Each structure stands twice: as C-alpha cells, then as structure tokens.
C-alpha cells in the first residue's frame, strides 16, 4: 500500500522528523521490556558467576545467583527467562539420560524459580546437546542423527520440565514430528496449559559459536548440524516448517538466528499472524559487544537499534542476552 501524497514541495517528509515530539508522534514501532526474553546459562555450585570468554558480560550462574539475577530482571519488567544448562562433563553420555532426570540442573532451576518468583515465566530448551557425549541435538547412530528415537527422548525431557513447572517449552532440536509428539504427551499427562515455542525456522549457523562455548559443547561437537538445521539459503522452507509446527500444536514460533534472518521474521509474521519470536543469538551479541569494547561502535545505541529492528520486522518478542541491559536503558 503506497500512501498518496502531493509532489514536492507540498510533501516534505522531513517535516515529521524535525523535532523529538514529531518523531515520537510518528514512530511506527515500540520496544518495551515486555518484549524481551532473557536467555541464561546455569551451572552447579554456589555463589558463582563465571564469565564466558566469548560472550563478554554474560556469566554462567549457580542457582543461588540465578534467583537474584532473575528477581532483578523481573523488577525491570522482563516477563520471561530461558534456561540453558552447562552440564558437568561427567554427565554427558551417548544415551543422554541426564536430559530427562527429574533432578537435573535445569529442572532444579525451574522449581527454584517458580517457588521464589512465580510471576516470572520460565522457558526451557529441548534438545539433547547439553547432555550428549558428541554435542549433537539428537542421538547419533553410526554417524547419523536419528530422528524418531530422538523424538521419544525429547518427549521424556519435555515431560520432566513440565512436571518441574516450566511455563514455555522450547524444542530447539529440529527433529521432524517433535512438536506433535510433545503436545500429545503434555495433554495426556494433564499439562494442558504448558505453552510450546517451537524453534521452527532454525538455521545451521556460524553465529552459535559462543553459545556452544557457554554450554561446554564446542569441543565435543563432531561434524556440523546441517542434516537437521536449515540451509541459510532457504526461505520458503521456513514457511513450511512454521505451518507444520503450528499444525502440530506450537503456540508460538521462533526464527533463529535473528539479525541475518529478518526477512524470514517478516514472511512468517505476514503469512501466519502467529506469535513470532526471534533469537538474537550468541554470535550476534558477541559481534556488537566486541565492536563496542573496541570503541568502534556505540554499544548501547547498536543494541537498541538491533532490537527495534526485530519489532519492525514483525516480531512480538526477542530472546536476547542484552535483555537486562536493554530493559535498564528503557527505564532510564
Ligand atoms: C541447542 C541450541 C543452540 C542454541 C540454542 N539452543 C545451539 C545449536 O543449535 O548448536 C544457540 C543459541 C545461541 O547461539 O545463542 N539446541
């Protein structure tokens, strides 16, 4: 739709940019703390906030510290937190049994958060990589990442997380059929109000590098994830994946990574009108942070601009490691 306007000089588009007041009146999109989900890395221990070298400003938190930080995030207006465990190396096996242990690190964190901060929504990640001896999101059998056997394990993982009190489950594994299988299992177990945010369009991306350091999977990963994550050259396929996941029972869908895939966000939002999220992933955060630390860009402005871009592209919300910093800036 093209707005009709008279030719120059009757129309001078700069008129509406001349002052902060006119710019505010004509601003098309808004970003608020309520749009942010904060991904957090957790680890065993007490009193620990352990820096991640490739993610300056991001720490792995022991559960006591997690509660303090989560309380601050909630006070800043951030509605949800997403948990990613750094699993002890001794618990990473080919069978990934720790993934569905009711008392694993993630499930203990969910219980502690729901007990102390019930208003804060807790989201989890469903995939086997933090528990897998070889760093893949699914079971590996003779060099192949097997689909159906993995889905059965993901269902067990989902049920354990729902049982612990998770509000939103985030299957990030890209196996076929996992949304339907998880949704049916949740219904059967009486977890009717647990939401699923499907990592629907998840690309095989170089931008996940610092995340794999943070969860301790980098050194273990053999090969790449191209047989299950998407080809960065594809766009129509993202729509097929989103349609499939919505039809299987996803409540919300995600595009990941974020900034290099804003065109996908827009297509997904326009095609389905479903709650659409983007994950501004570790490598995107690291790029902005590293340039800012070098004095090459204004980190605060770049952060705010990058997050507004997701709103402009049609996203309802953004998972971002910047969440607390952005929320603080919005408050200022
Ligand atoms: C694992 C998972 C990954 C991320 C979120 N969940 C890594 C991967 O797929 O290898 C990446 C997030 C980030 O880079 O910030 N299933």
Asked if the structure places residue 6 within a domain, the reply is: no
pLDDT given for residue 3 in this prediction = 76
pLDDT band at 5 (very low <50, low <70, confident <90, very high): confident
Atom 11 in ligand 1: residue holding the nearest Cα: 208
CATH of residue 106's domain is 3.20.20.70
Summarize the confidence of residues 50-79 as an average pLDDT. Answer: 98
Tell me the pLDDT tens digit for each residue of 153-178: 999 999 999 999 999 999 999 999 99
Q: Is the pTM of this model over 0.95?
A: yes
Residue 26 and residue 2: Cα distance in Å, rounded?
17
Q: Is 125 in the pocket of ligand 1 (CB under 6 A)?
A: yes
Mean pLDDT estimate for the chain? 97
What are the helix (H) ranges across 44-176? 63-75, 105-116, 147-164
Tell me the pLDDT tens digit for each residue of 241-279: 999 999 999 999 999 999 999 999 999 999 999 999 999
Asked if the structure places residue 9 within a domain, the reply is: no
Q: Is 205 in the pocket of ligand 1 (CB under 6 A)?
A: no
The helix/strand/coil state of 271 is helix
Cβ count near 268 (within 10 Å): 29
Asked if the structure places residue 19 within a domain, the reply is: no
Residue 179 and residue 232: Cα distance in Å, rounded?
22
Tell me the pLDDT tens digit for each residue of 16-47: 999 999 999 999 999 999 999 999 999 999 99
Atom 8 in ligand 1: residue holding the nearest Cα: 208
- Cα-to-centroid distance, 299 and ligand 1 (Å): 23
Asked if the structure places residue 8 within a domain, the reply is: no
Summarize the confidence of residues 309-324 as an average pLDDT. Answer: 98
Atom 14 in ligand 1: residue holding the nearest Cα: 208
Tell me the pLDDT tens digit for each residue of 195-231: 999 999 999 999 999 999 999 988 899 899 999 999 9
Asked if the structure places residue 184 within a domain, the reply is: yes
Q: Is 54 in the pocket of ligand 1 (CB under 6 A)?
A: no
Asked if the structure places residue 319 within a domain, the reply is: yes
Q: Is 186 in the pocket of ligand 1 (CB under 6 A)?
A: no
- Cα-to-centroid distance, 174 and ligand 1 (Å): 11
Q: Is 127 in the pocket of ligand 1 (CB under 6 A)?
A: yes
Q: Which domain holds residue 278?
A: 31-331
In angstroms, the Cα distances linking 32 to 23, 233, 262, 282, 318 are 18, 32, 19, 21, 11
Asked if the structure places residue 190 within a domain, the reply is: yes
- Nearest residue to 56 via CA among 322, 326, 324: 322
Question: Which atom of ligand 1 is found nearest the CA of 282?
Answer: 15
Question: Which atom of ligand 1 is found nearest the CA of 209?
Answer: 14
Tell me the pLDDT tens digit for each residue of 270-315: 999 999 999 999 999 999 999 999 999 999 999 999 999 999 999 9
Atom 7 in ligand 1: residue holding the nearest Cα: 208
Active site residues: 202, 256
**Which of 150, 154, 157, 172 is the best mutation target for the ligand 1 pocket, counting ligand atoms within 8 Å of the beta carbon and taking the most?**
172
Asked if the structure places residue 4 within a domain, the reply is: no
Tell me the pLDDT tens digit for each residue of 92-124: 999 999 999 999 999 999 999 999 999 999 999
Question: Which atom of ligand 1 is found nearest the CA of 217?
Answer: 10
**Which of 39, 55, 87, 129 is the best mutation target for the ligand 1 pocket, counting ligand atoms within 8 Å of the beta carbon and taking the most?**
129
Please give the helix or strand (H or E) that residue 125 lies within, else none.
strand 121-126
pLDDT given for residue 1 in this prediction = 75
pLDDT given for residue 270 in this prediction = 98
Tell me the pLDDT tens digit for each residue of 185-198: 999 999 999 999 99
As for how many domains the chain has, the answer is 1
Atom 2 in ligand 1: residue holding the nearest Cα: 172
């Amino acid at each position: 739709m093209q707005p009709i306007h008279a030719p120059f000089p009757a129309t001078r588009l700069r008129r509406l940019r001349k002052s902060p007041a006119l710019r505010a009146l004509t601003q098309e999109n808004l970003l608020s703390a309520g749009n942010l989900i904060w991904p957090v890395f957790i680890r065993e221990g007490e009193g620990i906030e352990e820096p991640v070298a490739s993610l300056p400003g991001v720490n792995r938190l022991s559960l006591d510290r997690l509660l303090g930080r989560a309380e601050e995030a909630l006070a800043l207006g951030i509605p949800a937190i997403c948990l990613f465990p750094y699993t002890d190396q001794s618990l990473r096996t080919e069978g990934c049994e720790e993934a569905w242990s009711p008392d694993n690190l993630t499930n203990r964190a969910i219980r502690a958060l729901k007990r102390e901060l019930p208003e804060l929504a807790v989201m989890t990640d469903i995939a086997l990589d933090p528990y897998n001896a070889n760093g893949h999101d699914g079971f590996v059998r003779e060099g192949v990442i097997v689909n159906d056997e993995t889905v059965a394990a993901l269902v067990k993982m989902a049920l354990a997380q729902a049982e612990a009190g998770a509000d939103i489950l985030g299957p990030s594994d890209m196996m076929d059929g996992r949304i339907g299988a998880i949704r049916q299992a949740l219904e059967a177990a009486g977890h009717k109000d647990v939401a699923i945010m499907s990592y629907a369009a998840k690309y095989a991306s170089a931008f996940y590098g610092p995340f794999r350091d943070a969860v301790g999977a980098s050194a273990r990963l053999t090969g790449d994830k191209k047989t299950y994550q998407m080809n960065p050259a594809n766009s129509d396929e993202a729509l097929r994946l989103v349609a499939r996941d919505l039809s299987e029972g996803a409540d919300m869908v995600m595009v990941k990574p974020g900034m290099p895939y804003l065109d996908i966000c827009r297509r997904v939002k326009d095609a389905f009108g479903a709650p659409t999220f983007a994950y501004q992933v570790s490598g995107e955060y690291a790029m902005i942070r590293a340039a800012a630390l070098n004095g090459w860009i204004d980190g605060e402005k770049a952060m705010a601009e990058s997050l507004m871009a997701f709103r402009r592209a049609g996203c309802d919300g953004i998972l971002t490691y910047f969440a607390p910093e952005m929320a603080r800036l919005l408050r200022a």
